[in-house]
Structure 1
Amino acid sequence: MEEYSQPLSTYLPNHPSITGGIVVSAVIIHTPPEGAPPRTLIIQRALKDGFPLKWETPGGGVEDFDSSIISAAVREVKEETGLAVDAEQAILGTVGGFTEWEEPKTGLRWRKVTFLVRMTGEELPVVQLEAREHRDYKWVTEEEVEEEGEGKGIGFAYGQLRRGILEGFEKVRKSVQEGLER
């Protein structure tokens, strides 16, 4: 995580293949008290946006004013969902590796980093969407995410997102088990 604790101005010179910038997202998994299944937050893109009406996790671009790549993820989650994330306590690491792509029109190369966030509590957190970017949200179970791979259900914006979410459920499960064993 230390690599992502630095600002964009420090990170990019060490990664010269990244010419466009960094995009961050957050797989947020809520673990309730025993009995109820963990759920992850997905948000539906607006009709007039890229990947219209597809589902994704909160995120966006890292800006020059962000103090670190991690703080950009915290900011984006707050802007898009109204949820406050405590980076030191809630972020468990990254999931899905990172994705790189080249923008066809500009030739700029981008990198996306997805952070895993764990939230706890009796109730699911209240989400307040940024209406210009997203039109709906759902808290879904691991089983619902798995069904997507069978051609049913959610309709994610891209396939790697599903794999990252499933990895997130596994990491949270291990984190909870390790916490119980101590």
Structure 2
Amino acid sequence: MGDIEAISGLAPPAPTPFTSSPSLDAFKIPLKTYLQEHPEFNSVAVAAFVFNEDGKLLIVQRAAHDSFPLLWEVPGGACDYEDESLLHAVARELWEESGLRAKSIITLVGEGMAIPYRGNRCMCKYSFLTEVEQYDVKLDPNEHQAFLWVTEEEAKAGRCGDVDFKYTTKDQRLAVFEAFKLRDSRQARAD
């Protein structure tokens, strides 16, 4: 398929342990505790921004039969009450949606975003820059049907090779741009 790949995943084992930055300690709490402390929200979603060794960002295409069919996003999803913490939800969702194991959850990308849904309900979504153990993507075809590793220019243009793509939402698109800026500023500080 050229620059676009679709791989069927197998039932995943539990994600391996990961490290996280002390700046993320506020997210080392279970969903139930977070919702008790933030009654304005009914649920929490998380997303993982993963860059490969070439500095390209992983984006995944939603399945044709799912909500936002055929649109593109970064791996993520809803926190579950069974998750040990919100950060564990990041690692779990990354594993379930891409087959990638979180090695380190580094920093928050942007701020928490309130997303109204189903009438008067409201979800908060947090996105995190995440390092992984390997880059061998294995998609769950029930959720996503393809993936791309994109450069910043491709992310802005909405085109990678011969594939045109659109993000699930304007906010997802803006978060992608923010992740590239954050990655660049972290690299500049490291140099």
**Which bracket does the TM-score occupy, shorter chain normalised?**
0.7 to 0.9
Given the alignment of the two structures, is residue 57 of structure 1 paired with residue 74 of structure 2, yes or no?
yes
CA shift, 1:103, in A, is: 1.9
Query: Which residue in 2 is equivalent to 1:67?
Result: 84
CA shift, 1:162, in A, is: 1.6
Candidates 26, 31, 41, aligned match of 2:53: 31
Query: Which residue in 2 is equivalent to 1:108?
Result: 121
Candidates 122, 126, 136, aligned match of 2:136: 126
Candidates 95, 98, 104, aligned match of 2:109: 95
Query: Which residue in 2 is equivalent to 1:43?
Result: 60
Q: Report the number of matched residues.
A: 165
Change (3 A) 1:31 1:172: farther
Query: Which residue in 1 is equivalent to 2:98?
Result: 81
Q: Distance in 1 between matches of 2:65 and 2:87?
A: 28
- Name stretches of at least 5 consecutive residues in structure 1 with no aligned partner: 33-37
- Name stretches of at least 5 consecutive residues in structure 2 with no aligned partner: 1-23
- Alpha-carbon RMSD across the aligned residues, in angstroms, is 2.0
Aligned 8 A contact 1:41 1:137 in 2: yes
Q: How big is each residue's C-alpha offset from its partner over 1:1-52, in whole Å with a ceiling of 9 and x where there is no partner? A: 1211111121111111012x101111111233xxxxx100000000110010
Q: Distance in 2 between matches of 1:39 and 1:119?
A: 13
Q: Which amino acid aligns with 1:116?
A: L
Candidates 17, 35, 38, aligned match of 2:40: 17
Q: TM-score, normalised by structure 2?
A: 0.80
Q: Which amino acid aligns with 1:63?
A: D
Query: Which residue in 1 is equivalent to 2:9?
Result: none
CA shift, 1:160, in A, is: 1.1
State the identity %.
Answer: 31
Post-superposition, which runs of at least 4 consecutive aligned residues in structure 1 deviate over 3 A?
none
Given the alignment of the two structures, is residue 136 of structure 1 paired with residue 146 of structure 2, yes or no?
yes
